[in-house]
Amino acid sequence: MSEAKRPFGLWTATALVIGNMIGSGFFALPAQLAPFGLTSVAAWIAAIAGAMLIAWVIAGLSRAMPEATGTLAICAKALGPLPGVLIGWTMWVGIWSANAFIALTAVRYLAVFWPPLAASSLSLVPGAVALLWLITLLNLRGARTAGEFQVATTLIKLVPMAAIILLLAQLGWGGGLALDAHPHAPFDAGQLAPAVTMAFFAMVGFECAGLAAERVRDPGRTVSRATLTGVGVTGLIYLIACSGIIFAMPQDQIAGANAPVALFVETFWGRWAGLAVAGFAAVAAIGALNGWVLLQGETPLGLARAGVIPAAIGRTSGRDVPVGALLASTLLASVLILSNITRDTSAIYDFMLRVTTAATLWFYAGACLSALALGVVRPAAALGLVFALWAIWGAGYEAIGLSLLLMATAIPLYLMRGSAEKAAEQAPVV
């Protein structure tokens, strides 16, 4: 395939992984995890270990089948068409529901500069929908343009990450990070699974290079290197930065913050520093949104080209963009945002976080099952499957039930695909 068809090299693929991971999750999760106290540290360690296991499995699948159009196509080949489409569909649901969360987070950080933007859901929700459609228009220009934008936003977002680590190092040197500096909830094993589910939301995205393998040059090698490098770098940043923010400030103060990272920097370095970090955080979230919007079109495209859903869904434009799939995904994400316009913001965040994590974890479980079926990195696949099921359980019955219900909506597509094939076989030859 030509470079125009495979525009992503190692740096772009790695930027896609890091960019998709470092986004709304990091900048929102200090507030979500603060009530867990010391349990949040153990949750990060468990989430990073689980992500590394599953990343190794996905990389192994890419090495074993480099000719495949992506991880979803491999799952379909390993487990069969119906399990393949169910796994791929729930991953797609997780992607566009995550986009709703990411868009809201970006607007909340932009509201640090203009508070009326997030004064109520009546202003926050339309702003998030508008941002989502702007990024969708960017992706309609083609994968190369989206990839270049991803590299730029990834480099920009590393600046505030470096500032946060520097500030934490300064506080650590001065004793401001002592565990007894502020009271925090003690470790509670019974709360570990829910905390891991929340922490793992920030890790979601490491599989994006594998999902977009059709756009990656030398995928058998590049996907593996980009995925493992991205998970390792991002996981270390999360463990240090998020835990440091939580323990450097009173638990209640962080737990109630709309923009916890900006609040943290402002507390110790002043108002202007806080504003700067808020701007970078908004850029980080927008960069993550760009990467996820790319994937929300690539996922149905991969399923259609693998033959597990009707081929019409995978039709592309002259720029090889799956326009229909991309617009449908953004429309559904917009409906999800608008349907919550009368709800409390924190309740929306919690609900979408758990549903998104549960939906994507079904994909990870499917990838591990596929590796077991194909005989690829079986020890890691077995451990990854156990971790994925445990984290799904931590999402709670409501999120699990909804993720399964949304997964089941793919069955009609599977039947349509079968009916189309049967009609084609029975059509008279002329």
Question: Quick one: average pLDDT of 249-274?
Answer: 88
The highest-confidence range among 73-87, 131-145, 190-204, by mean pLDDT, is: 190-204
Question: Mean pLDDT in the chain?
Answer: 81
pLDDT of residue 7: 56
Domains in the chain: boundaries: 10-417
Whether the predicted pLDDT of 299 surpasses 50:
yes
Q: Which tens digits make up the pLDDT trace of 187-241?
A: 899 999 999 999 998 888 776 665 556 666 766 667 777 878 888 888 888 888 8
Which residue is listed with tokens 């570990």? 192
Q: Which of 51-55, 167-171, 290-294 has the lowest mean pLDDT?
A: 290-294
Of 28, 386, 364, which Cα lies nearest the Cα of 198? 28
Number of H helices, E strands in the chain: 18, 0
**Is 3.40.50.150 the CATH classification of the domain at 10-417?**
no
Instruction: Measure the CA–CA gap between 180 and 193, rounded to whole angstroms.
Output: 25
Of 338, 337, 310, which Cα lies nearest the Cα of 325? 310
Token pair in block for residue 147:
């990839």
DSSP string, 113-178: TSGGGGSSHHHHHHHHHHHHHHHHHHHTT-HHHHHHHHHHHHHHHHHHHHHHHHHHHHHHHHTTT-
User: Is the distance from CB of 91 to CB of 359 less than 8 angstroms?
Assistant: yes
Whether the predicted pLDDT of 143 surpasses 70:
no
Whether the predicted pLDDT of 44 surpasses 90:
yes
Instruction: Measure the CA–CA gap between 276 and 178, rounded to whole angstroms.
Output: 27
pLDDT of residue 429: 38
Question: Quick one: average pLDDT of 95-118?
Answer: 88
User: Is the distance from CB of 133 to CB of 330 less than 8 angstroms?
Assistant: yes
Token pair in block for residue 220:
């058998």
Whether the predicted pLDDT of 277 surpasses 60:
yes
Instruction: Measure the CA–CA gap between 74 and 83, rounded to whole angstroms.
Output: 11
Give the DSSP letter of residue 190.
G
Q: One-letter amino acid identity for 105?
A: T
Q: Which residue did the predictor score with more confidence, 259 or 368? A: 368
Work out the pLDDT band at 20, boundaries 50, 70, 90. low
Instruction: Measure the CA–CA gap between 151 and 334, rounded to whole angstroms.
Output: 26
Dihedral angle, C-alpha 380, 385, 387, 393, nearest 10 °: 180
Q: How many CB atoms lie within 10 A of CB 172?
A: 14
- Give the chain's length: 430
Q: Which tens digits make up the pLDDT trace of 330-381?
A: 998 898 888 777 777 677 778 878 888 898 899 899 999 999 999 989 999 9
User: Is the distance from CB of 110 to CB of 400 less than 8 angstroms?
Assistant: no
Q: Which of 14-18, 175-179, 350-354, 363-367 has the lowest mean pLDDT?
A: 175-179
pTM: predicted TM-score of the whole model, two decimal places: 0.80
User: Is the distance from CB of 299 to CB of 95 less than 8 angstroms?
Assistant: yes
Q: Which residue did the predictor score with more confidence, 210 or 101? A: 101
- With a CB cutoff of 8 Å and minimum separation 6, the contacts of 239 are 41, 44, 45, 48
Work out the pLDDT band at 427, boundaries 50, 70, 90. very low
pLDDT of residue 200: 92
Whether the predicted pLDDT of 142 surpasses 70:
no
Of 372, 340, 371, 366, which Cα lies nearest the Cα of 353? 340
